[in-house]
Amino acid sequence: MKINKNKFIYLISPNKIPYSFFSNLKLVLKTGKVSFFQLRLKSYSQNKKIIIGKKIKNICKKNNVKFIINDDPLLALKLDADGCHLGQKDMNIKAAKKILGKKIIGITCHNSMILAKKAIKAKADYIAFGAFNQSKTKKTKYVASVNILNKVKKLTKIPTVAIGGINAVNYKNLLLNNANFLAISGYIWKNKFYKPLQAIERLK
């Protein structure tokens, strides 16, 4: 997988998709800073996810952003997304590869070198670590430090994604410590001070 240092953002959808979301997404993706967009909707029906997913896929395609589905390889297949992100409690990577073939599959490894080694062995396309900071999007069960990013880089060339409470104050430290991509959601979509476009423009 090619790594473009200017496109270091792995953008995750808000938990709820308001009507204004699509116009904001277009503006945010046009900045050219986003490599991936992940659709992560826990409380929506499958039909609703398909309707929303089709719209987002088109916006991603126009802006050369990879469209990833959270947790659900079958939905990724149905939407012909670019790939799927799997947590440790989701389908295993082997089964997901059977469904998705050569599409992108990323794996959550929390703060564990054991999980990272497993994911590398299973040929994950990227591995995600966190939480590096307190997150507003999700309760923090696992806490990761930059040491794990530096350790993993000695082992593999597989891209790493850092996740958890990333914002304009703390993002540079992660990029300086071997995070290839930064998974960001709340800072863009739930920012009390900046609109989504203004928020992303502060990540230079």
Greatest alpha-carbon span in the chain: 44
**Quick one: pLDDT at residue 199?**
98
Looking at residue 5, what is its pLDDT? Answer: 87
* Tens-place pLDDT, residues 27-45: 999 999 999 999 999 999 9
Mean pLDDT (whole number) for 177-204? 97
Helix (H, G, I), strand (E, B) or coil at 61: helix
**pLDDT band, residue 141 (cuts 50/70/90):** confident
Sign of the alpha-carbon dihedral angle for 27, 130, 42, 75: positive
* List of domains in the chain: 9-201 (3.20.20.70)
**Is a pLDDT exceeding 90 seen at residue 46?**
yes
First to last CA, the chain: 22
Tell me the pLDDT tens digit for each residue of 58-91. Answer: 999 999 999 999 999 999 999 999 999 999 999 9
The Cα–Cα gap between 203 and 175 comes to: 11
- Token representation of residue 144: 């990761």
